[in-house]
Chain A
Amino acid sequence: MNRRPICILFFILLISAGARGQEKISLNGYISDMQTAYHVPNQWLWENSLQNRFKLMIYPTDWLSGSLQFRSRIISGNTIAKIPGYTEGLAGDPGWMDLTWMYDGNLGDNAGYVLASTMDRLWLQASFGNLEIKAGRQRINWGQTFVWNPNDIFNSYSYFEVDYPERPGSDALRLSYYTGNASSIELATKIDSANRVTAAGYFRFNTLAFDIQLLGGIYQEEDLVLGAGWSGNIGSSAFRGEMSYFRDLKQFKDTTGYLMSSVGFDYTFSNSLMIQIEGLYSAFAKDLDIYSFLQFYSGSLDVKNLGFTEWSFFGNISYPLTPLINGGFATIWYPRWKGVYLGPSFDLSINSNFDLSLILQYFSAEFEDPSGHKNREKNTFGFLRLKWSF
């Protein structure tokens, strides 16, 4: 089914509604160029990605707002030829509406470059006092912790993706009712490209200086999901956590369900040095058959696959070396794999609108192949990005 006509109609509505006054529109975004080098077992891969993000916001009336956002990339490099199914991956849209365009000149793996464009936000929001109704492609972010978000059942995405902070949107309908200054109730439902529906209710409130949230619903028509999350502090450090329980609806009586939980602390010293730690437990990881890091390295994730091993532990330090240069060092420990991820990064502010980032990612872990043979896999990725925000 081609859903493009729906979105184009929506687009025309947006533009015509927004075109009435200059101050009722805002246009922002960025253009970035990122050079990537991957050293994976036995080979080097490289890629250049010239990216444009285009973010249109419209405010036709006090109660109505809307957004249209594009992510467009021109990708070149030997990744196109060497990674099987690379161009098809770029052409697929995870949402119910097909708002992704890809051009490779019908050359597939032989293409020298690929154009890929996705409309990853396309929503209208109506607000009536404390009630908000938001329809269309949007991001629903129920996360509380920083690395793994078992409560974020609408938009799970790889932590390792460095060039897509916005993350894809969900084709969803969301009702929010703000019951207080720091509390709300939400009902949200989305449908994905495989026509699977996720629907959930969410209640957020603030008590004893803690933000607490409870959620429950149906995940991808497969599981019952119940979750809870919190953000608060112990002493002056932040204490955050999330837990979700999934139970297969088809085998409800035969199974006990799966628990997933992340808990983390973060603390900022007076000299701006920030430290973060976070741990994840995932009962799903026991059933995962992983033989390489690259399986889950990038792209959209099923929330159930957040944890690659039963336990994962994260640590990060971040420090502004000068107010213009921020340095960070992240690490993840995967005990079952005797595995480690190391991620140093530097961000330099060249001027108000230009930023340069250097990010390295190193993975080393021991995997067992079907014959029981243990093999240590090492991968090193490097990213250099120049970004102009407008």
Chain B
Amino acid sequence: MKTRTKLLTMFLLSGITFPVLGQDLSPKEIVHKADEKFNGEKTSTSIMAMTIVRPTWERTIEFKNWTSGREYALTLITAPAKDKGQSFLKRQNEMWSWNPTISRLIKLPPSMMSQGWMGSDYTNDDILKESSVVNDYTHQIVGEEEVDGRMCYKIKLVAKEDAAVIWGHQIRWIDKKDFLFLKSELYDEDGYLVRTETGSEIKTMDGRLIPTRIEMIPAEEEGQMTIIEIKENHFNAPIKESFFSQQNMKRIR
């Protein structure tokens, strides 16, 4: 009986899933699927390390990150010692930082959004997921190419005119089988390549296959990059919207 239920469930689930995996996916759906796979359909909880690599030095920042959709995010720095306990909250279009050393909650202006986060090549926008690769761009499949031995859709994303995004267009290579962002090229409004991102060290986390190492390489800067390593990731845990609060910014550990 149990086996039958299991089989039935599997059948039902696969019945829903398999047609979506078919060739008739639109480029927007492919990007949407890959985005949800990496960021979680509803919520995501992760522990990450970010290493800023420059020709003569490196710095690593460790942090925990909670997100719910694009609207809510909470980030807590856990290392290095001098920054430990600092937190960042995003609720829709508003952002705050909490600095426990001076017991001060600061509301951050929109001009902070394009700043390098903690001195890295990532912006606040990248970390706090302000813009959406699904809704802020139009999508077009421009080919199929292999990246690290995996066959990928090559998709061009062009920023919509009214979208508040910092990129003019993007080219993304998305694994055809597992819907993983394996490579992305980000171009500015004048069409110049600004940075390349690659996803590697594909591992199963919380039952889901994802790249756990993201390398971000600025185009114009020799020997410079930012590496994100995902150490833990949980998807779609029930996190209420009220979790993303000023009270939790101060309490979270």
A residues adjacent to B (C-beta < 8 A): 28, 30, 59, 127, 130, 132, 138-141, 143, 165-167, 178, 180-182, 184, 206, 209, 211, 231-233, 236-238, 240, 266-270, 272, 320, 323-324, 349, 351-353, 355, 389-390
Once A166-B101, A178-B246, A181-B242 are accepted as A-B contacts, the answer to whether A30 and B82 lie under 8 Å apart by CB is yes
Contact B94 A209 (CB under 8 A): yes
The contact of B109 among A181, A266, A320, by CB within 8 Å, is: A266
Q: Kindly state the separation between the CA atoms of A173 and B84 in the bound complex, as whole angstroms.
A: 26
8 Å CB interface, B226-253 against A: 241-242, 244-247, 251, 253
Q: Kindly state the separation between the CA atoms of A267 and B81 in the bound complex, as whole angstroms.
A: 28
User: B195 an interface residue at 8 Å Cβ cutoff?
Assistant: no
Contact B81 A389 (CB under 8 A): yes
8 Å CB interface, B90-123 against A: 91, 93-94, 96, 101-104, 106-112, 114-116, 119
Residues of B within 8 Å of A184, CB to CB, are 246-247
Contact A236 B110 (CB under 8 A): yes
Q: Give the number of residues in B that approach A within 8 Å (Cβ atoms).
A: 37
Residues of B within 8 Å of A182, CB to CB, are 91, 94, 96, 245-246
User: B160 an interface residue at 8 Å Cβ cutoff?
Assistant: no
Residues of B within 8 Å of A355, CB to CB, are 82
The contact of A353 among B82, B115, B246, by CB within 8 Å, is: B82
Contact B247 A130 (CB under 8 A): yes
Residues of B within 8 Å of A351, CB to CB, are 57, 59
Residues of A within 8 Å of B223, CB to CB, are none
8 Å CB interface, B148-167 against A: none
Q: Kindly state the separation between the CA atoms of A127 and B252 in the bound complex, as whole angstroms.
A: 12
Residues of B within 8 Å of A324, CB to CB, are 57
Q: List 18 A-B contacts (CB under 8 A).
A: A59-B253, A127-B251, A130-B247, A139-B103, A141-B104, A178-B245, A181-B245, A209-B93, A233-B109, A236-B110, A236-B111, A267-B111, A268-B115, A272-B115, A323-B119, A349-B59, A351-B59, A390-B81
User: B42 an interface residue at 8 Å Cβ cutoff?
Assistant: no
Contact B84 A267 (CB under 8 A): no
Residues of A within 8 Å of B79, CB to CB, are 352
Closest partner residue, chain A, to B54 (CB atom): A323
Closest partner residue, chain A, to B61 (CB atom): A352
Contact with A along B57-71 (1 / 0, CB 8 A): 101100000000000
Contact B81 A233 (CB under 8 A): no
Q: Kindly state the separation between the CA atoms of A127 and B245 in the bound complex, as whole angstroms.
A: 15
User: B52 an interface residue at 8 Å Cβ cutoff?
Assistant: yes
Residues of A within 8 Å of B244, CB to CB, are 181
Contact B91 A181 (CB under 8 A): yes
Residues of B within 8 Å of A236, CB to CB, are 109-111
Residues of A within 8 Å of B101, CB to CB, are 165-166
CB of B42, distance to nearest CB on chain A (Å): 18
CB of B86, distance to nearest CB on chain A (Å): 12
Q: Kindly state the separation between the CA atoms of A324 and B246 in the bound complex, as whole angstroms.
A: 30
Contact B80 A233 (CB under 8 A): no
Closest partner residue, chain B, to A139 (CB atom): B103
CB of A225, distance to nearest CB on chain B (Å): 20
Closest partner residue, chain A, to B57 (CB atom): A324
Residues of B within 8 Å of A127, CB to CB, are 251
Residues of B within 8 Å of A178, CB to CB, are 245-247
Output the residue of A30, A209, A268 with the most chain B CB within 10 A.
A268
Residues of A within 8 Å of B112, CB to CB, are 268
The contact of A267 among B57, B109, B116, by CB within 8 Å, is: B109
Contact B107 A238 (CB under 8 A): yes
Residues of A within 8 Å of B52, CB to CB, are 323
Q: Kindly state the separation between the CA atoms of A180 and B247 in the bound complex, as whole angstroms.
A: 9
CB of A129, distance to nearest CB on chain B (Å): 10
CB of A239, distance to nearest CB on chain B (Å): 8
Once A181-B242, A266-B109 are accepted as A-B contacts, the answer to whether A141 and B102 lie under 8 Å apart by CB is yes
